[in-house]
Structure 1
Amino acid sequence: MSKKYIFPSDPAVQQKIKNWQDLKFGLFMHWGTYSEWGVVESWSICPEDEGWTQRKGPYSATYAGYVKAYENLQTTFNPVKFNPEKWVQAAKTAGMKYVIFTTKHHDGFAMFDTKQSDYKITDPKTPFSKNPRANVTKEIFNAFRKQNFMIGAYFSKPDWHSPYYWWPYFPPKDRNVNYDPAKHPDKWNQFKDFTYNQIQELMTGYGNVDILWLDGGWVRPLSTVDTTVDWQKGIKFNQDIDMPKIATMARQHQPGLIVVDRTVSGEYENYTTPEQEVPAAPLDHPWESCITMGNSWSYVPNDQYKSVSTIVQLLVKIVSRGGNLLMNIGPGPDGDWDTEAYKRLQGIGEWININGEAIYGSKAVAPYSDGNVYYSQSKNGKAIYAFVMGNGEQVNVPAAMDIKLDNVKGLKKVTLLGSKQSVKWKVNGSGVHLQMASAVNNLKHAAVFKLAYN
């Protein structure tokens, strides 16, 4: 989490962040050649002894043999079921409002038609290059933009395929650059140019882009390293890629662009991105929790997907803290999602259709949560919503309950969304006492009381 958030000075960026904060729910997609093996994205070619970097399968005996086989996946990658309109429809049904797509992960395989490398989905070596929709980044952005989604380009700053980052003269040692940029400035400048040029391609050839979501936070100025963060202790070299130059160029092409230089505090981390977690309390700056729908970021056969209830309750908890939920689904090697992902999105959408007004355009309001009750407030302040969480799919709302609230002045009416039950209420010492004719047991995932004010 960033300690030194800097609010952007550009009014266009400020406005876009406000618009983005109102959306609350987005789709993340990690997709690349690694989906063919059903392994973790990129990390198995990283020579670190971590749980998520373990090599598996017939090529795992030697590092060099594994990397060669991994990079050879380019020659068999052919996701013929690719149909971004199907994804858009499912995401829209679920109530998602923006998309972040991995245009390039750490392994360096470009899911767009870069001119800087032949390690890309549109290269003749890749079977899918012959498909009219081979430039999948462009196709995805166009399809989602047509349905008024905000568009985000995920881009990995490190590139483990680039000879300017992992110089073949040395073996790679870990996730970092494998030479000292101070000793080999020409090599590092080549990498800076390579990175700048790829980002410029994304900012100029892919229509309106709203968010540049930069991953790989070890590529950063050495002066910004926080040695209290475990993974940053391994950063020994100054890996400054000149973010001021990149951001200036990107915003010349995409005015108001939100830049998310993950974990690098300062003016190019326009919002922070807690990963696989929900902050315990509201943060004092814009933020988004990125969380997987399954257990993995990328496609794994028979992955275990979170239940609709779990996802809805994650969304509620995040919104109650003033954040956004970016939910990841990993497309498979055939170019489609697991059928379970579609089922989850359908179930979320059914809940959103009833309760969406308590989610979108809302802001955090004290006391944020109390036991199994969570709160949000409409942007105009005319309604507070109290979400009552259940233990599973069914929510049992008792006939009488107390809602803890700091502000009850001007309260006019209380309703239970999705129910015809009338709700009587009276102010008490700690908030509001609610009374209905009988308990309500037919609501799913989270029941929502709307408290309307003047």
Structure 2
Amino acid sequence: MSALNKIDMNMKRFLLFFVALTTFFSVNAQTKTDASVMNDFMDKRFGMFIHWGPVSLRGTEIGWSRGDQVEVEDYDNLYKEFNPVLFDADAIVKTAKDAGMKYLTITARHHDGFCLWPTAYTNFNITNTPYKIDIVGALNEACKKQGIKFCIYYSVLDWHHPDYPIHSSKNQTIDPKSDMNRYLIYMKNQLKELITKYDPYMLWFDGQWEKPWTDEMGKDLYAYLKQLKPTIITNNRLGKEFAAMENKNIDASKMIGDYDTPEQVVGKLNMQTPWESCFTICNQWAWKPNDKMKSLKQCLEIISKTAGGNGNLLLNVGPMPDGRIEARQIERLKEIGDWLKINGEAIYGTLGGPYQPNDDYATTRKGNKIYLHVLNTNLAKLSLKTIPGLKVKKAYLLNNQTVNVEQKDAISLQLPSHQTNQSDYIVVLELNGNAENIPVIK
């Protein structure tokens, strides 16, 4: 072997070692998001989720109706008709702000693979629709103007992409022509593009439950994102450990990401692991004509129970094919915002607990105050367990109306009768010490 060939061989060995070392550190460097960043996120408590894309033309569910309610060929060509001429990013962000929401998350790419931004890595994107305008960019700019944190949803799976091994929710057969390594490069390119162009506050992943995706891929991607933007927040759907719709108890040490994601259910009271429940304002995630909408009382109970469990709420709307949010949904969101203008003190910047939320009440706390969210407004009296070492000095509504309280073997409250059959209301319990240090009372 010549000296030149030896140098080439040594160089190859060095490069292989370097690649292996880089991969090892990227997969194992699980540097979690700074606590101050996470505290800021959890203080916000309430955000808007938006599920939207060409599928709104059919009124069926985004991603999941492909090859089910809508033929694959039809579904994959809907983008050629997608022209939401009444889309107004400023109006949508104002709707979120008026609802009391502090952040907004848009489905930049759902399971169907269609991209709402002009990505350089696939033609299956907004540029090739009749509309052509960058929807992700427009929402980002509107959020910046109105002081709302901008966040991006990105699906781990992509049934449309030839290199992702599964091409249908109904048929989980692995495509032998697919190439998961090439697909991972595609994902990283797109995510780098999204972070570079839009600098999102948070990334919301989904679709990691399918067999082709592994926890090792999730760890590698999490580390990659942290290299691109150290302060980026991600949910835990880069890995298999998540509460999901079953609201499972999870092992936080196995979680890949910064917070847990119960779906269509209020998460359990947890003072250690951050979490965010996502709910639809109607039944379907994407827009559906005449979809049944949640009542104001249902929405407020979800908000109170979520904050009472020490979590955030991401409430979803699905714009119509023309780009507008339905007027009835806007009205419901405004009603929530009106309630929060009066009662937001008991939601934003609070801790959950110390009592477990139930169907009658939930509690949040801040400083020396416990905020009692009365959910069952037909109650005339309410009894709470006493707090070891602390006493209730006084009780009152947020409008300063006095509430009669006695503390002996229990904390007994005489609730105001005029609140019967009204929306949830808040009773403030002012203590003679710090409410934030109270252990959870079971």
Q: Do the structures match in fold with TM over 0.5? A: yes
Amino acid at match of 1:434: L
1:17 aligns with 2:38: yes
Task: Check the 8 A contact 2:271/2:310 in 1, yes or no.
Answer: yes
Aligned-partner Cα distance in 2 for 1:387–1:435: 14
Deviation for aligned residue 1:239: 5.0
Instruction: Specify the code of the residue in structure 1 equivalent to 2:139.
Output: I
SS of 1:334's equivalent?
Answer: coil
Alpha-carbon distance in 2 for matches of 1:41, 1:189:
26
Pick from 324, 334, 343: which aligns with 1:346?
Answer: 334
Q: Confirm or deny that 1:214 pairs with 2:190.
A: no
Q: Which runs of 5+ in 1 are unaligned?
A: 1-7, 47-53, 57-65, 220-234
Q: Does 2:53 align with 1:32?
A: yes
SS in structure 2 of the partner of residue 343 of structure 1: helix
Give the distance between the partners of 1:269 and 1:177, measured in 2 at CA: 28
Q: Check whether the contact 1:13–1:258 (CA below 8 A) recurs between aligned residues.
A: no
Contact 1:26 1:327 in 2 (8 A): yes
Q: 1:164 to 1:250 in 2, by over 3 A?
A: same
User: For residue 135 of structure 1, what is the aligned residue in structure 2?
Assistant: 134
**Which residue identity is paired with 1:444?**
Q
Q: 1:222 matched to which residue of 2?
A: none
Is 2:312 aligned against 1:324?
yes
Residue pairs, 1:153-192, within 5 angstroms: 153-166=152-165, 174=170, 176=172, 178-179=174-175, 187-192=179-184
Partner of 2:139, secondary structure, is helix
C-alpha offsets along residues 212-236 of structure 1, whole Å, 9 cap, x if unaligned?
11110135xxxxxxxxxxxxxxx3x
User: 1:173 Cα shift?
Assistant: 7.9
Q: Does 1:96 align with 2:101?
A: yes
Partner of 1:413: 394
Pair 1:176–1:213, CA change in 2 (3 A): farther
**Matched ranges for 1:360-379 at <5 A:** 360-369=348-357, 372-378=360-366
Question: What is the distance in 2 between the residues matched to 1:97 and 1:359?
Answer: 12
Amino acid at match of 1:192: L
Q: Deviations 1:283-341 (Å, cap 9, x if unpaired)?
A: 64111111100010000011111011100011111111111111000111100111111
Q: Provide the rounded CA distance (Å) in 1 between the counterparts of 2:103 and 2:369.
A: 25
* Compared CA separation, residues 441 and 244, structure 1 to 2 (3 A): closer
Residues 1:434 and 2:430 are matched in the alignment: no
Task: Find the aligned partners of 1:239 and 1:370 in 2 and give their Cα distance.
Answer: 36
- SS at 1:44's partner residue? coil
Task: In structure 1, give the amino acid aligned to 2:201.
Answer: D
Q: Is the 8 A contact 2:44 2:312 kept in 1?
A: yes
Give yes or no for contact 2:108–2:115 (8 Å, CA) kept in 1: yes
Name the CA distance, whole Å, in 1 between partners of 2:312 and 2:384.
24
Aligned to 1:388: 374
Using the TM superposition, name which of 237-246 and 257-266 deviates more.
Answer: 237-246
Q: Residue deviations 1:122-152, cap 9 Å, x none?
A: 12xx1001xxxx1101111221132222222
Residue among 114, 119, 122 paired with 1:117: 122
Deviates more, 1:188-197 or 1:252-261: 252-261
SS of aligned partner of 2:285: coil
Give the letter for the 2:101 counterpart.
M
For each residue in 1:32-86, what CA deviation from the matched residue of structure 2 results, as whole angstroms up to 9, or x when unmatched? 110011011111225xxxxxxx325xxxxxxxxx222211111110001111111
- Please, which of 75, 80, 90 is the counterpart of residue 75 of structure 1? 80
Aligned residues: 391
Q: What's 1:452 paired with? A: 430
Q: Distance in 2 between matches of 1:158 and 1:177?
A: 14
Give the Cα separation in 2 of the matches to 1:188 and 1:173.
Answer: 17
* 2:151 match: 152
Secondary structure in 1 matching 2:179: helix
Provide the rounded CA distance (Å) in 2 between the counterparts of 1:115 and 1:15: 34
SS of 1:140's partner is helix
Q: In the alignment, is the contact (CA less than 8 A) between 2:115 and 2:126 conserved in 1?
A: yes
Q: After TM superposition, give the deviation of residue 11 of structure 1 in Å.
A: 7.0
Alignment counterpart, residue 405 of structure 2, candidates 425, 430, 442: 425
Report the Cα offset of residue 260 of structure 1.
1.8
2:191 is aligned with 1:199: yes
CA distance in 2, matches of 1:157, 1:291: 20
Partner amino acid, structure 2, of 1:251? K
TM-score, length basis structure 2: 0.81
1:103-139 CA deviation, whole Å, 9 max, x = no partner? 000111001111010000112xx1001xxxx110111
| C-alpha separation in 1, matches of 2:216 and 2:153 | 17
Between the aligned partners of 1:337 and 1:351, the Cα distance in structure 2 is: 21
Q: Deviations over 1:395-432 (max 9, x none)?
A: 3563x5444443572433321123x532333312112x
Q: 1:360 to 1:405 in 2, by over 3 A?
A: farther
The 8 Å contact of residues 267 and 275 in structure 2, kept in 1 or not, is answered as no
Q: Which runs of 4+ in 1 moved over 4 A?
A: 8-12, 171-177, 237-241
- Deviation per CA, 1:214-273: give whole Å up to 9, x if none: 110135xxxxxxxxxxxxxxx3x5657833443333223322111224152335321111
Q: Which has the higher contact order (CA 8 A, sep 6+)?
A: 1
TM-score normalized by the length of structure 1: 0.79
Q: Which residue of structure 2 lines up, in the alignment, with residue 42 of structure 1? A: 63
Q: Indicate if the aligned counterparts of 1:164 and 1:187 stay in contact, CA closer than 8 A.
A: yes
What is the distance in 2 between the residues matched to 1:14 and 1:114? 32
Could you give the per-residue CA deviations for residues 149-171 of structure 1, whole angstroms, max 9, x where no partner exists? 2222100111112111158xxx7
Checking the alignment, whether the CA contact within 8 Å between 2:391 and 2:407 is kept in structure 1 is: no
Matched residue, 1:50: none
Indicate the SS of the match to 1:243. helix
CA distance in 2 between partners of 1:412 and 1:330 (Å): 46
Counterparts of 1:188 and 1:278 in 2: how far apart (Å)? 35
